Amino acid sequence: MFKKKQHIHAGQNQPSSNGRAFVLPLALLLIVSLPLALLSPQPVRGAMKTEVSPPALKTHAQASSLIDVTSGRIIYATEGDRELRIASLTKIMTAIVAIEHGRLQDQVKVSSTAYAKEGSSIFLRMGEQMTLENMLYGLMLRSGNDAASAIAEHVGGTEEGFVHLMNEKAVQLGLSHTHFANPHGLDVEGHYSSANDMARLTAYALHNPTFAHIVKTELKKAPNPNDPWDYSWRNKNKMLRLYEGADGVKTGYTKKAFRCLVSSATRDGRQLAAVTLNDGDDWNDHAHMLDYGFRYYPLIPITDKQQPINGYPLLTGASFAYPLHDDEKSQLHNRLVLYKKSRFAGRSDVSFGLRGRVEFLLEGKLIGSVPVYAKGSKLPTQRTIQPGQEVPTDQAPVSSTQQRSWTSGWSVIIRNLFGV
């Protein structure tokens, strides 16, 4: 599930929070291997008891993937990197790009090329105007191809310009098995993705509160300028009604892609997302996949914030948790990376007492880290450092500006977590 990867040693290039690498000379770093007991996993409250090893999981899908949304870990996949048609799962990228680049209260006008688009539709009329926010609901709940084209033309200037933004975002997120040719997902050569890429994209998008709210909405009403009654859109995603805790994401179908589905669910504060491509029994398969993830890969607390490090006058600056099966716990290791003060001369975080970080490795692969501070320091509000980030950032964006600054860090996280 994880590839072997060499440990990072002093003097190697290490990525910074903006994705650029910097070199730490040997004299400025001290790396200390820590026994796991020094920062031992905490008991999981309310988690179901797991077996020694998880049983085999099978679906009817041509390709499938299951991801832990918080950590970004893909915990199950079959043919996960196979490039396939994805139908209207395309609209996950359409929505997140529109949210990040557009203004939700802008009026979107329906052009002649968006009007009466082939396939699923919310039956917009030519020249009709609707807010971008409402059009996003029509896009994600009813899979409106007319809404997809109207959104693309509004945000990207042209549909082609918007598709460029979609592919640019795919590159930024490290989605190496993905290429878009349109914003709606109608079958065309050169338009494809993989189950793993769609899982990673979905995990990214679900951190955006606007996107997350839209995809979990079961029924949306919107003003209708053409008739005396409102638009009323019921979500096509039956998982919202069939599965406990379901909160997204998107259905898809074309004659060549067949049935495609991305679903998500949250239980006890832990969120998973499942992807299947070409699956004739997707509702049942997704229920089994989500059950599997919740049962066999609980989110294990590895360390708490302000936890002392034995033998050092240091405290952890953030908590860290990761989905692990029981037989993986023995493969988890820590290492302490200490900074020399001279390396941070003039940096504001020195006043907070930043002294280094504790890195967490599973089978030798870096899965995340937390900053460490001198005891008595006033700790800033920070999150766990994921691989590739030197300074932690907020977990979920709350505005378009913050979202854009956060995305560059996430692309590094994706590449480091999944080796893409």
**Helix-strand-coil split of the chain, %, nearest 5:** 30, 25, 45
Q: DSSP secondary-structure letter at 106?
A: S
Residue 404: predicted pLDDT: 36
Q: Could you tell me the pLDDT band of residue 381, with boundaries at 50, 70 and 90?
A: low
Positive/negative CA dihedral, 108, 113, 117, 123: positive
| Least confident window among 38-42, 67-71, 227-231, 402-406 | 402-406
Q: Could you tell me the pLDDT band of residue 378, with boundaries at 50, 70 and 90?
A: confident
The tokens of 93 are what? 């990228």
pLDDT at 360 over 80: yes
More confident residue, 155 or 412: 155
Across 211-229, average pLDDT: 96
CB neighbour list of residue 21: distance below 8 Å, 6 or more residues apart = 13, 14, 15
Q: Which CATH superfamily does the domain covering 63-296 fall into?
A: DD-peptidase/beta-lactamase superfamily (3.40.710.10)
Among 29-43, 72-86, 346-360, name the most confident range: 72-86
What torsion, rounded to 10 degrees, do the Cα atoms 238, 243, 245, 251 define? -30
pLDDT at 17 over 60: no
Residue 185: predicted pLDDT: 98
Among 187-201, 334-348, 387-401, name the most confident range: 187-201
For residues 370 and 320, the answer to whether their CB atoms sit within 8 Å is yes
| Least confident window among 50-54, 245-249, 302-306 | 50-54
**Domain map (residue ranges) of the chain:** 13-44+299-418, 63-296
pLDDT at 23 over 90: no
Mean of the per-residue pLDDT values of the chain: 82
Q: Could you tell me the pLDDT band of residue 385, with boundaries at 50, 70 and 90?
A: very low
* 190-206 per-position pLDDT tens digit: 999 999 999 999 999 99
* 46-94 per-position pLDDT tens digit: 344 445 578 999 999 999 999 999 999 999 999 999 999 999 999 999 9
Catalytic residues: 88, 91, 143
Residue 345: predicted pLDDT: 52
CB neighbour list of residue 28: distance below 8 Å, 6 or more residues apart = 10, 339, 340, 342, 343
pLDDT at 395 over 60: no
Residue 1: predicted pLDDT: 34
Across 176-199, average pLDDT: 98
The tokens of 95 are what? 């929505």
* 92-145 per-position pLDDT tens digit: 999 999 999 999 999 999 999 999 999 999 999 999 999 999 999 999 999 999
Distance (Å, whole) CA 160 – CA 292: 40
